[in-house]
Amino acid sequence: MCQVQPGNEWRDRRAYVIGTGKSGLAAAGWLLGQGATVCLNESRALADLAPESRAALAALEAQGLLLELGQPCDPLAFGAELVVPSPGVPLDEPAIRAAGAAGAVITNEIELGWRAGRAAVVGVTGSNGKTTVTSLIGHMLRLAGREPFVGGNIGVPYLQAAPRLTANDLAVLELSSFQLEGILSLRPKVAVFLNLSPDHLNRHKTYAAYQAAKWRIAEFQGPADWLILNGDDPLLRREGERRLATAAGGGPRIMFFSAAGPIANGLWLDEEGWLNLTLPTADGAVQRQRLLPAAEFALPGAHNRENLLAAAACGLILGLAPADIRRAAATFQAVEHRLEPVGEAAGVLYVNDSKATNPDAALKALDAFTRPLLLIAGGDGKGASFQELAAKIAARTKLAVLIGKDGGRLAAALREAGFERFRQASSLEEAIDICREQAVAGDAVLLSPACSSLDMFRNYEQRGEVFKARVKEILAARSNVGRRD
């Protein structure tokens, strides 16, 4: 796959990076190496940044980085020719729009990585399941003897690795709506679009705008590329069929996946729980191949069967043998903070699903268990409705313990659903202790917040780590019961 290599297109030009997260630091470092004059803006003061961020800034400053800390961004005043906002910075900020109107290029670290490298890209997006599917595709490729880069919205920023990757390499990237809305030419060889449900409405303002940002994953694809879509998601199925009918050879080839039964073009689950591939042939016939039983997949839940279908479809397109996919499915371990078992004390299982940052993710988590559940939920709801989640909580849980900024909104939704078995806690640790006191052997305590963590924590990872640390204290205390010095 070929793409234009820009060389040092930013040499001796003025670049303005906004935000000191991993992607902002990666962009600033790369641009300095390209010979650009780089200013990095951060609204927080230096003292408010994490120690690792301060250390990284000091190293970049020694290389010539200009710092603009503790103040609003103003790329126009800097004379920026390139503006690189971090994913958490809205592109409709007036200062960013003013720079764009003055002729500055507005893009992001992912796009810079695409321009800096030559690797073929597998892009994975959707409202839920991105991390699991991205990681599973990477696991499949490694077991087949290939060494992909896996990152993007998870792990290492793409721009840190992209310049070292060759045309023979693969980069498997989790892509968020925030990242996709800032791309200018990123063209995945394979784009995987898992599902759609309302999310980040506080940022995108409308569900339609959120969907439009997600669909940018296929914006620059051509006939040599593939787009994998969830055929059980009505919005994706309808748009996929429309694109099939109107593509006229200009868009990507499309493959669907479905856990609901046979489809004529893609990967699906039969009544016996086996993954099947059906593809139309040139003469109008349909070729069918039975691949592997979904029961061998190591992760629980109906949503994870969909994740397996999506990853397997991508693996087949990339030339993996069914045996490699089957082996990967059986050996794949839960992604950290996504339905991650932490341990069991007194017969009570504790599960960390901190990455469930929207209601749809929490709905899927609640359906993944047969045990009676005690749920910890709440945080910053990002403007999402809790109505459907409240009905599911009422049907599936013994107790809900609510935390965070929108815990009160979730409580109101539960009352409206006729569910009164909830309590509110001032901290995550208090919520865990309430669950521990109320749980009995055979229950599961599930952290699946359905909300962003940013009202109480730096990110969902920190929220998950706090959950795991408190649970490990409970496990240690339990193991010491009855011991004598």
Q: Active-site positions?
A: 130, 153, 200
Q: Which two tokens stand for residue 380?
A: 């910053």
Q: Are 124 and 192 in contact (CB under 8 A)?
A: yes
b/e for 334-358, b at 16 or more Cβ within 10 A?
bbbbbbbebbebeebbbbbbbbbbb
List residues bridging with 14 in a β-sheet.
Answer: 37
* Three-class DSSP category at 417: coil
Which of these, 386, 354, 371, 362, lies nearest to 470 by C-alpha position?
354
Q: Are 296 and 330 in contact (CB under 8 A)?
A: yes
Distance CA 452, CA 456 (A): 9
What are the residue ranges of helices labelled H in 85-232? 94-101, 109-116, 130-143, 158-161, 177-180, 201-204, 207-215
Distance CA 364, CA 283 (A): 40
Q: Are 119 and 193 in contact (CB under 8 A)?
A: no
Helix or strand holding residue 444 (H, E): strand 444-447
Distance CA 410, CA 420 (A): 12
Q: Which two tokens stand for residue 356?
A: 């469930």
Which of these, 411, 407, 399, 414, lies nearest to 453 by C-alpha position?
407
